[in-house]
Amino acid sequence: MTLEFRDVARNYGSVKALSGVSRTIEAGEFVALVGASGSGKSTLLKTINRLVIPSGGTVHFGEMDVAKQQLTELRRRIGYVFQGIGLFPHMSVAENIAIGPRLSGEPIPPERVVQLLELVELEPSMRTRFPDALSGGQRQRVGVARALANSPQLLLMDEPFGALDPITRDALGLRVRGLHDELALTTIMVTHDMAEALLLADRVLVMDAGQIVADETPQALLEGAGGEVAQELVAVPRDQAKRLAELAKLSAPL
């Protein structure tokens, strides 16, 4: 299903968190939303599942204005991984994963919980654990499993891998990209890490001061497209790769 932002704005007092955002995301796309802290990424993501109500403009999901859809039905079709995960500490892994369907009156059976754990490569025995007995990466995997519990069409992730070590982060990123392909999802991932965006997404939207200032494929960005703000972000991993290549050359046997 197509997702469409039509001239979306959101003000907080005098702060324009979003202004004039218009964009269409096609079914099946994996889109990364990149930009500096405070550029409006989370605010834009939250207009989709109505955690934020726009001050102006509309968001359409599957041809229909999200403001006109029944909230539980809308959220059932949208998986959401919070910035900072947000597992309930007093609930087991299984209870955390099953909370969405339970709240919407369609509880899932234990086999489905095990299947969701398998999707994120966690052992079935994890289901009785509590969040404080999990590593950061395991918690994040539970967050993804929970977002998938309702079999959503659209997966929204807000800096899902922010707090993870680089190896765990890379593995989980690849797993999420795999899930996107296997489950035929439409995915929007907020990240401040351009390298992650370039490596995982089909399309990268760059935000600056509440607006989308670039909309490019990773390939095009690497070839120099997208303008100044986008290229500043691309320069970081590119320069790092160059420096690493030079180091490797220096240490190569003659």
By CB under 6 A, the count of residues binding ligand ADP is 11
Residue choice 25, 30, 31, 43 for contact with ligand ADP (CB under 6 A): 43
Q: Which residues contact 142 (CB under 8 A, 6 or more apart)?
A: 85, 87, 93, 96, 97, 120, 122, 126, 131, 134
Rounded to an integer, what distance in angstroms lies between the CA atom of residue 181 and that of residue 122?
19
Q: Does 75 bind ligand ADP (CB under 6 A)?
A: no
Q: Does 40 bind ligand ADP (CB under 6 A)?
A: yes
Q: Does 191 bind Mg ion (CB under 5 A)?
A: no
Q: Which stretch binds ligand ADP (CB under 6 A): 31-39, 116-124, 194-202, 212-220?
A: 31-39
The CA distances from residue 84 to 81, 91, 178, 247, in Å, are: 8, 17, 22, 35
Task: Closer to ligand ADP by CB, 14 or 219: give it.
Answer: 14
Q: Which stretch binds Mg ion (CB under 5 A): 35-43, 69-77, 201-209, 213-221?
A: 35-43
Q: Does 96 bind ligand ADP (CB under 6 A)?
A: no
Residue type, 45: L
Task: Closer to ligand ADP by CB, 97 or 190: give it.
Answer: 190
Residue type, 46: K
The CA distances from residue 83 to 41, 77, 94, 123, in Å, are: 11, 19, 21, 24
Residue choice 2, 7, 15, 121 for contact with ligand ADP (CB under 6 A): 15
Instruction: In angstroms, give the least distance from the CB of 189 to Mg ion.
Output: 12
Q: Which residues contact 135 (CB under 8 A, 6 or more apart)?
A: 168
Q: Which residue has the tokens 């990209």?
A: 177
DSSP H helices, the chain, are: 41-48, 71-76, 93-103, 110-119, 136-148, 166-182, 194-200, 218-222, 228-251
Residue choice 39, 42, 140, 191 for contact with Mg ion (CB under 5 A): 42
SS3 61: strand
Task: Closer to ligand ADP by CB, 149 or 205: give it.
Answer: 205
120 and 175 Cβ atoms separated by less than 8 Å: yes
Q: Does 191 bind ligand ADP (CB under 6 A)?
A: no
Q: Does 20 bind ligand ADP (CB under 6 A)?
A: no
Rounded to an integer, what distance in angstroms lies between the CA atom of residue 115 and that of residue 129?
16
Binding to ligand ADP (CB under 6 A): which residues in 108-127? none
Q: Does 17 bind ligand ADP (CB under 6 A)?
A: yes
Q: Does 38 bind ligand ADP (CB under 6 A)?
A: yes
State the residues that interact with Mg ion by CB under 5 A: 42
State the residues that interact with ligand ADP by CB under 6 A: 12, 15, 17, 35, 37-43
